[in-house]
Amino acid sequence: MMDWVLLAMILALLIPIYEACQDEDIWQKMLAFASIATKTSMMILVVSVLRDDWMIGVVGVLILSVGNAALMLLAHVLRRMNLGRMNLGRMNLGRMSER
């Protein structure tokens, strides 16, 4: 039973991987990344229950609760980059008033 659950999970994991591979928009890639991050930590949890291994379960929960922070940091850096590209004039005005 649990083997079939894992097979279905691997199939579900392949969908966002393919999406991240073929889509050129960076935000779509970020969505795929978010999906994969949740799915992999859920798989770790399922395997830990399958093997009755407490140690792997703790790692899975830690990755689940801390791993998403990377996603948010990266999203903010990307947003700053796109802002710089779009509102160049406004940012330059700000820098001139600093001078």
Shortest separation between residue 94's beta carbon and another protein, angstroms: 11
Based on the shown chain and the rule CB under 8 A, indicate whether residue 94 belongs to the binding site for another protein.
no
Based on the shown chain and the rule CB under 8 A, indicate whether residue 10 belongs to the binding site for another protein.
yes
Based on the shown chain and the rule CB under 8 A, indicate whether residue 69 belongs to the binding site for another protein.
yes
Based on the shown chain and the rule CB under 8 A, indicate whether residue 98 belongs to the binding site for another protein.
no
CB-based contact 29:20 (threshold 8 Å): yes
* 47 CB neighbour count, 10 Å cutoff: 16
Shortest separation between residue 91's beta carbon and another protein, angstroms: 9
The residue among 56, 42, 59 whose CA lies nearest residue 6 is 42
How far apart, in Å, are the Cα atoms of 58 and each of 26, 52, 94? 32, 12, 47
Based on the shown chain and the rule CB under 8 A, indicate whether residue 7 belongs to the binding site for another protein.
yes
User: What would the x/- binding string for another protein be over residues 14 to 43, using CB under 8 A?
Assistant: xxxxxxxx--xxxxxxxxxxxxxxxxxxxx
